[in-house]
Amino acid sequence: MAEVLAFEHVSIAYDSRAGRQNILNDVSFVIGEGEALGLVGESGCGKSTVALAAMHYLPRGMSLTEGRIRVEGRDLARLSADELSRIRGNRIAMVYQDPMSSLNPVMPIGRQLMEVPLLHGETDERAAFRRAVAMLEEVRLPAAEAMMERYPHQLSGGQQQRVVIAMALMAEPALLIMDEPTTGLDVTIEAAILALVRDLRAKFGTAILFISHNLGTVARVCERIGVLYAGRLVETGSIATVFRSPVHPYTRGLLGALPRLSGGHRRGRLRPIDGTIQAADRARLGCAFAPRCSFAARRDCEERPVVMVAIDAAAQHLVRCARIDAVVAGSAVDGPPASATATNDQAPIVLSVRNLSKEYRLTSLFGGDRKGAVRAVTGVDLDARAGETLAIVGESGCGKSTLARIISGLLTATSGEVTLDGVDLAGISVDDRPPDTRRRIQMVFQNPDSTLNPSHSIAYALTRPLRLLRDLASGEAKAEVLRLLAQVRLPSEMADRMPHQLSGGQRQRVAIARALAGNPGVVVADEPVSALDVSVQAAILNLLGELLEQSQLGLVLISHDLALVRHMADWVAVMYLGRVVEYGPADQVFSPPYHPYTQALLLAAPTPDPDAPPVVVLEGSMPSPTDTILGCPFASRCPERIAGLCDTTPPPIRRFGEHRISCHLEIDAERAQPPAEAGGRTGMRSSSA
C-alpha cells in the first residue's frame, strides 16, 4: 500500500511571551492509499493541530520543532510556497466542521466548485462546469445542474456539507482531511454523509484523516484509530482491536464514559474521567495522563519517559503506557451499570401539553397579502412528570426547539395548552408571566457561553436569579450561591471566577446551577451536552441524574443523540415535521413495535461497536413546513407507506397502554424485532394485507 501521509516523531510548539509550550510531542503515524485513520481525543488534545500541520497551515507562533511530515513522500518543510500552493486543494484537501466557513455566501455553489479545476490547470470553463455537475451527482445531490445555480443559504446543512465534500474531491486529492465533519448534523444526515464518505473513498482511493470526538462515527468510517492525549498518541491500532480490547487507561476511560443505545442502562451511572487536560501535562517527562490515571505509579509514570510499545507480534497495536500489565489485569471496559429506576406512570404530572400548535404567518416583503404559514408545531400532546425525564427527539426542523421555547415562554403558541400548576401558559410570554411562574420553569441552553455574561463573575450570574425570582437578601443569596455550587459539584472558590476561567463542563454546571436557583418545577434542557467532550458529557449526565433523584423537578430534554436519550429518558416523544409520531415510556419506545420514523432514527445512529450492523440511510428530505400535509407527514420518506392511504388520510393513533404510535400500519407483534435483528423491518405490516 503506497504511503500518502506520514508523521515521523513530529513535535510542534507554540512560542509566546510566557515561553514555549508543547502542542504535539513525538507523534508518529502513517496513512496509506485508500485507508482511513480516525483521530480521537478531548478538546485541547491536539487533533486540529495535526490537521493543520498536515496542510502546512500552522498559525503564527506555532512551528515544527522536531520530526518530519511527508505527503506522498515529499517533506512539506522543504517545499516552496508555490509548491505548497499546488499541493493544497490538489493533492491535499480539507473538510471543516462548519461548511459555511468554506463556502462563499454571495457566490453560487456551481461557480465555487468550478474554481477548483480552474485554479489547478483546467482552462476550459465548459469542462470545469461538467466536472462540477458530475461531482454533485457523485455526492448524491438531486438535480445537479439546477443545484449549480443555488447559493449556500438555499441549501440545508447536510446539502452544504455534501457540496464542501464535492469541492474537496474535485481535484481527486490523494489525502482528504475531515475535521469533525458531521458534528452539527442530524443522525439521519450524519448516516448519509458517513455512507457517502465510505463510497467515495472506495471509488477514488482517497486516504482519509478523520478527526472526531464521536467514537461511533469513527467506528463507521475508519479501519484504524489513533487516540491523542495532551499532544501525544497514547494508543493506535485497528478499530476492531482498540474497541474490543483497549489497553491505555485513557482509551478505556473514553469508551467507559459513553452512554449506549443498546441494553437497559437507563440512568445508570456513567464513568467520567476525573480531572481535565492541563497545560503542564504537555511538558511532563513521563506520562501526560498520570495525574488522572488510577493505575499511575510515580517511578514508572512520572520520573522517566514513556514510549510506545507493541502489544501484538505484528506491531499493529501500539500503546504508550508504563503500567500495561496492571491495566490489563484490571477491570474490563463495559457500559454503565443497569439502573434500578423504572418509569412511573403514576408520578405526578408537573407540566401538561395538550393539542399545542404554533404557526408563523408569512407575508410579502412589504407586509402585503399573506402567502401562507409555517407550521412549526401541530397538535402536540405530552406530559412531564416529577422526578423524571421527558426526552424530545427528531431531526432539525421537526419542531422540538420551538416546543421547548413555547414551554419556557420565549415563544407563545398559536393554539393549545401548556398547563403548569393549573395555569395555561401557552399564550403568555415569559415577560408577562407572574414571577412565581417564571421561577417554576427554567431553561438550560446548548452553549453556556451565550448565556453567561463574560464581564460578570459566577457569583453574580447565580445571585441575580436569586434576587429576581426569590427576593433573597444579600446574606441569604450569598449562602445560597455556595449551596448551588456544591449541588452541581463545583468548589466554592469558583464563585469569584469569571466565565473564561472555567472549562466548558464547568460553565455548563454553572448554567445548570442558575436554572436551579429558582427552585423550579420544570427544567428544559436544549442539547445541554452536545458541545462537550465525552468524559465531561458523562459527568454532566450523572449530575442531571442525581438532581432528578434528589428532587421532584421534571426534566424536558431536547437531543438528537439517541444513546444519550436511551440513557437518560423515562418518557420519549419522537417528533417529525412538527407532529409527535410516537410517544411513551422509554423502554417501550426503544423496543418494537416502532413507528417507521423511530426505527429509521435507530438504524441510522452510529454506535462505538465494530461489530454493529451497517447503518441504514433514510432517503429523501423532510417536506417544507409550509406544505399542506393531507396524510401522514412521514409518508414521502417512509419505505413502508401504503399508496393512496398514507399520503391522503391522517394516520390513526394506535395505543399500547401508555405507548402510542401514529401510523396506518397495523402492529404485528410476532414479527416485531429490534432494528439490529430485523435488518430494516419495522415490525409492522399493512392493515390491508
Phi, psi dihedrals of residue 309, rounded to the nearest 5° = -125, 150
What are the tens digits of pLDDT across the range 474-496?
A: 889 999 999 999 999 888 999 99
User: Is 497:458 a contact under the CB 8 Å cutoff?
Assistant: yes
pLDDT of residue 679: 44
User: Is 206:175 a contact under the CB 8 Å cutoff?
Assistant: yes
Residue 173 per-residue DSSP state: -
pLDDT of residue 421: 87
Report the candidate in 325, 315, 323, 332 with the shortest Cα–Cα distance to residue 287: 323
Over range 227-254, report the average pLDDT. Answer: 95
pLDDT of residue 684: 41
User: In the chain, pLDDT over 90 holds for what percent of residues?
Assistant: 50
Report the candidate in 586, 594, 597 with the shortest Cα–Cα distance to residue 557: 586
- Among 230-239, 431-440, 467-476, 673-682, the minimum mean pLDDT is found in 673-682
Residues 6+ apart with CB under 8 A from 440: 420, 421, 518, 520, 521, 522
Determine the Cα–Cα distance for residues 159 and 165; give it in Å rounded to an integer. 10
pLDDT of residue 680: 44
DSSP H helices, 399-524, are 400-408, 435-440, 458-470, 474-487, 504-516
One-letter amino acid at 42 equals E
Instruction: Domains for the chain: give ranges and CATH numbers.
Output: 240-339 (no CATH), 349-573 (3.40.50.300), 592-689 (no CATH)
What is the bridge-based pairing of β-strands 370-385 and 684-685? unpaired
One-letter amino acid at 478 equals K
Q: Is the pLDDT of residue 601 over 50?
A: yes
pLDDT of residue 366: 56
The residue whose grid cell reads 451536552 is 529
pLDDT band for position 419 (cuts 50, 70, 90) = very high
pLDDT of residue 363: 67
What is the bridge-based pairing of β-strands 579-585 and 659-662? antiparallel
What are the tens digits of pLDDT across the range 90-112?
A: 899 999 888 888 899 999 999 99
What are the tens digits of pLDDT across the range 12-61?
A: 999 888 788 889 999 999 999 999 999 999 888 999 999 999 999 998 88
- Return mean pLDDT, the chain: 87
Over range 169-174, report the average pLDDT. Answer: 86
Distance, first Cα to last Cα, the chain: 53
CA dist 160 to 142, 202, 335, Å? 13, 22, 35
Q: Is the pLDDT of residue 682 over 60?
A: no
Determine the Cα–Cα distance for residues 481 and 514; give it in Å rounded to an integer. 9
pLDDT of residue 681: 44
Q: Taking every pair of C-alpha atoms in the chain, what is the biggest distance, in angstroms? A: 79
User: In the chain, pLDDT over 70 holds for what percent of residues?
Assistant: 92
What are the tens digits of pLDDT across the range 331-355?
A: 555 555 544 455 566 789 999 999 9
Over range 227-256, report the average pLDDT. Answer: 94
Region class of 125: left (phi > 0), else alpha (psi between -120 and 50), else beta? alpha
What are the tens digits of pLDDT across the range 492-521?
A: 999 999 998 887 888 989 999 999 998 999
pLDDT of residue 331: 59
Residues 6+ apart with CB under 8 A from 155: 109, 147, 163
Q: Is it true that the peptide bond before 593 is cis, omega within 30 degrees of 0?
A: yes
pLDDT of residue 678: 40
pLDDT of residue 449: 80
Phi, psi dihedrals of residue 194, rounded to the nearest 5° = -65, -40
User: Is 515:441 a contact under the CB 8 Å cutoff?
Assistant: no
Output the CA angle 293-47-80, nearest 5 degrees.
140
pLDDT of residue 368: 56
Question: Cell for 396?
Answer: 432539525
Q: Is the pLDDT of residue 415 over 90?
A: yes
3-state DSSP call for residue 361? Answer: strand
Question: Cell for 227?
Answer: 487516540
pLDDT of residue 369: 52
pLDDT band for position 685 (cuts 50, 70, 90) = very low
Provide the whole-model pTM: 0.86
CB under 8 A, 24+ apart: contacts of 359-363: 359/414, 362/626
